[in-house]
Amino acid sequence: MNIERWLPYVRWMPSSWIRRLERFLHRIPAVRAEMEKEYSEILSSLEGTVKPYRGKVPTYATLPQKGVAKEAILQMMEDLQRQESQRWQEGYVSGAVYHGDAAWIDFLNRVYALHSQVNPLHADLWPSAAKYEAEVVSMTAAMLGAQPGDEICGTVTSGGTESILLAMLAYREWARDKKGIRRPEMIAPVTAHVSFDKAAHYFGIRMIRTPVDDQFRADVKAIRKAITRNTIVIIGSAPSFPHGVIDPIEEMSELARQHGIGFHTDACLGGFILPWAEKLGYDIPPFDFRLPGVTSISADTHKYGYAAKGTSVVLYRTPELRRYQYFTATDWPGGLYLSPTLAGSRPGALSAVCWAALVAMGEEGYLEATRQILETAAEIKEGIRAIPEMHLLGDGLWILAFGSDTLDIYRVMEFMATRGWNLNPLQNPPAVHIAVTLRHTRPGVAERFLEDLRAAVEHVKAHPEERGRLAPVYGMAATLPFRGVIDELLRRYLDLLYKV
Ligand SMILES: Cc1ncc(COP(=O)(O)O)c(C=O)c1O
């Protein structure tokens, strides 16, 4: 059966029909066999990239009989790190490592080493951990519009996703308690981070995704229409992950306030950039607690806060709202139990590192880092604009999304990979972005990026026959209406990661 011939018709079907059709097709042995062949071709082409050390370094599928010498362990790990660090150190990577200077990392590592045994679950043993976390929350709140006398509060979490999960959990619990909402719904523009879908999935909240305008900003009218009596929260990004644009948070949060529902600003990416950009004179629309409708914010310290990987902050307008994310148990035989976030035991060292990073950067440090990042991003943006085959999507200040009407942008990305670049593929519409970090502000990096991008465009133009390795996967994801196929591929990829 030639499924491809029928795809254009399938695409117009309602999604529930497509799912049924997909289940039906999957029961046909010939289709299943064809799919299995496709999966194994794609995955075996990826296996080499994901498992490059097979046969090159010792592998342990079971515990070694006798402990391996510590020196040998360290040496192997140092070797692997050396190989893996070069790309991000030299500024070839979008996002991922946001500071990365050797002296800065040494400082964070010293702080970590001092605290590697600390577990904030035992606040009585390590009151220093509680001090660091309270101050991290307070400094972040002050940076994001808390005024003296405000009750703005929050917790330190393990990352942006956990901050978002907890905020959504808090709204669900709040809405159930205060309004009796049993079938909660949340509204998020299609561009809001996928961790909101994860929250919806984990916590049984119905996700309503709304469209964005031609600049990839939330369409406020569509949000207004989507509000029902079950809506518990509206979400806006400052800025969004895909295109780096800031949603009209002022209008959106006002809408939420008028309806007596929550409003979450996802400032995971922008929390530690936008306040400083505003001080530097950039035109930054309001997005933080200075807007009365904003009831919670997520801001990632492990991104542009320059802390080590593994911390973020979730903030709430009131302690009352924060309480809904807490977990307590009063009659467990293991004793009275209380935990503010998702994990039980937590790495206190990461909170200590986070505190040290914030205090060592200070306002001046963040201001200067932001200045450098925004200036470098402006240079890259100009360079992209000057390539006739490319166009920018939205007006991101330092997250720069670009696509092409004439070339396969995923193949452009793949060519960039051959030059060492690690960029982020986007979809709906197909595009690629680079999140500019301090790694890109070093001399020559922006020029190298533009030079390689121009070479990539020329190469793809000159070789229309090349298929590439990743491009077909993204191409398939962009065009195939059968989402179950892509979903299965992603799950098999995760399985692959756990293969020894
Ligand atoms: C806007 C936004 N929100 C949330 C997240 C999730 O953060 P994390 O990957 O730290 O869980 C990201 C990650 O890039 C993001 O860009």
Q: What pLDDT, on the 0 to 100 scale, is given for residue 475? A: 72
Q: Is the CB of 357 under 6 A from ligand 1?
A: no
E strand residue ranges, 138-282: 153-157, 185-189, 206-210, 231-237, 262-267
DSSP, res 422 = B
Under 8 Å between Cβ of 235 and 186? yes
List the residue whose alpha carbon is closest to atom 16 of ligand 1: 241
Q: What pLDDT, on the 0 to 100 scale, is given for residue 54? A: 93
Residue 113 has pLDDT above 70, yes or no: yes
Chain-centre distance for alpha carbon 20 = 32
Q: What pLDDT, on the 0 to 100 scale, is given for residue 32? A: 84
Residue 2 has pLDDT above 70, yes or no: no
Tokens of 203: 């916590």
- Long-range CB pairs of 117-123 (<8 Å, 24+ gap) are 118/347, 118/348, 118/349, 118/352, 119/345, 119/346, 119/347, 119/348, 120/346, 120/348, 120/351, 121/339, 121/344, 121/345, 121/346
Give the distance (Å) from ligand 1 centre to CA of residue 95.
11
Burial class for 259, CB neighbours closer than 10 Å (0-12, 13-18, 19+) = middle
List, for residues 418-433, the tens digit of each pLDDT value: 999 999 999 999 999 9
Q: Is the CB of 300 under 6 A from ligand 1?
A: yes
List the residue whose alpha carbon is closest to atom 4 of ligand 1: 160
- Long-range CB pairs of 278-286 (<8 Å, 24+ gap) are 279/367, 280/367, 280/370, 280/371, 280/374, 282/374, 282/397, 284/246, 285/246, 285/248, 285/249, 285/250, 286/249, 286/250
Q: What are phi and psi of 402, to 5 degrees?
A: -140, 150
Q: Please name the amino acid found at residue 14.
A: P
Q: Is the CB of 414 under 6 A from ligand 1?
A: no
List the residue whose alpha carbon is closest to atom 5 of ligand 1: 160
Using most ligand atoms within 8 A of CB, pick from 197, 198, 241, 246 the residue to mutate for ligand 1.
241
Q: Is the CB of 158 under 6 A from ligand 1?
A: no
Give the distance (Å) from ligand 1 centre to CA of residue 175.
25
Give the distance (Å) from ligand 1 centre to CA of residue 6.
37
Q: Is the CB of 237 under 6 A from ligand 1?
A: yes
CA-closest candidate to residue 126, choices 352, 313, 328: 352
State the closest ligand 1 atom to the C-alpha of 159, by its place in the atom list counted from 1.
10
Residue 18 has pLDDT above 80, yes or no: no
What is the model's pTM?
Answer: 0.94
277-288: average pLDDT = 98
List the residue whose alpha carbon is closest to atom 8 of ligand 1: 160
Q: What is the dihedral of CA 192, 193, 196, 202, to 10 degrees?
A: 160
Rounded percentage of the chain residues whose pLDDT exceeds 90: 85
State the closest ligand 1 atom to the C-alpha of 267, by its place in the atom list counted from 1.
1
Q: What pLDDT, on the 0 to 100 scale, is given for residue 25? A: 79
Q: Is the CB of 243 under 6 A from ligand 1?
A: no
CB count, 10 Å around CB of 34? 14
State the closest ligand 1 atom to the C-alpha of 237, by its place in the atom list counted from 1.
1
Using most ligand atoms within 8 A of CB, pick from 93, 161, 240, 350 the residue to mutate for ligand 1.
161
Give the distance (Å) from ligand 1 centre to CA of residue 59.
32
Map tokens 């029902």 to a residue. Answer: 228
Give the integer Cα–Cα distance in Å for 138 and 484: 44
Give the distance (Å) from ligand 1 centre to CA of residue 189.
15
Give the distance (Å) from ligand 1 centre to CA of residue 230.
26
Residue 106 or 3, more confident: 106
Using most ligand atoms within 8 A of CB, pick from 268, 287, 298 the residue to mutate for ligand 1.
268
DSSP, res 156 = E
- For 215-251, give one letter per residue: b (16+ CB within 10 A) or e: ebbbbbebbbebbeebbbbbbbbbbbbbbbbbbbbbb
Query: What rounded mean pLDDT belongs to the chain?
Result: 94
List, for residues 20-30, the tens digit of each pLDDT value: 777 877 788 88
Q: Is the CB of 193 under 6 A from ligand 1?
A: yes
Give the distance (Å) from ligand 1 centre to CA of residue 279.
24
Residue 4 has pLDDT above 60, yes or no: no
Residue 342 has pLDDT above 50, yes or no: yes
Handedness of CA 294, 295, 298, 304 (dihedral sign): positive
Q: What pLDDT, on the 0 to 100 scale, is given for residue 7? A: 61
List the residue whose alpha carbon is closest to atom 7 of ligand 1: 160
78-104: average pLDDT = 97
Q: What pLDDT, on the 0 to 100 scale, is given for residue 174? A: 98
Give the distance (Å) from ligand 1 centre to CA of residue 429.
20
List, for residues 251-269, the tens digit of each pLDDT value: 999 999 999 999 999 999 9
List the chain domain ranges.
3-50+475-497, 113-358
Q: Could you tell me whether strands 296-299 and 327-329 are parallel, antiparallel, or unpaired per DSSP bridges?
A: unpaired
Give the distance (Å) from ligand 1 centre to CA of residue 266.
9
Give the distance (Å) from ligand 1 centre to CA of residue 33.
37
Q: What are phi and psi of 163, to 5 degrees?
A: -60, -45
Using most ligand atoms within 8 A of CB, pick from 156, 195, 309 the residue to mutate for ligand 1.
195
CATH 3.40.640.10 fits 113-358, yes or no: yes
1 — pLDDT class (breaks 50, 70, 90): very low
Residue 401 has pLDDT above 70, yes or no: yes
314-333: average pLDDT = 98
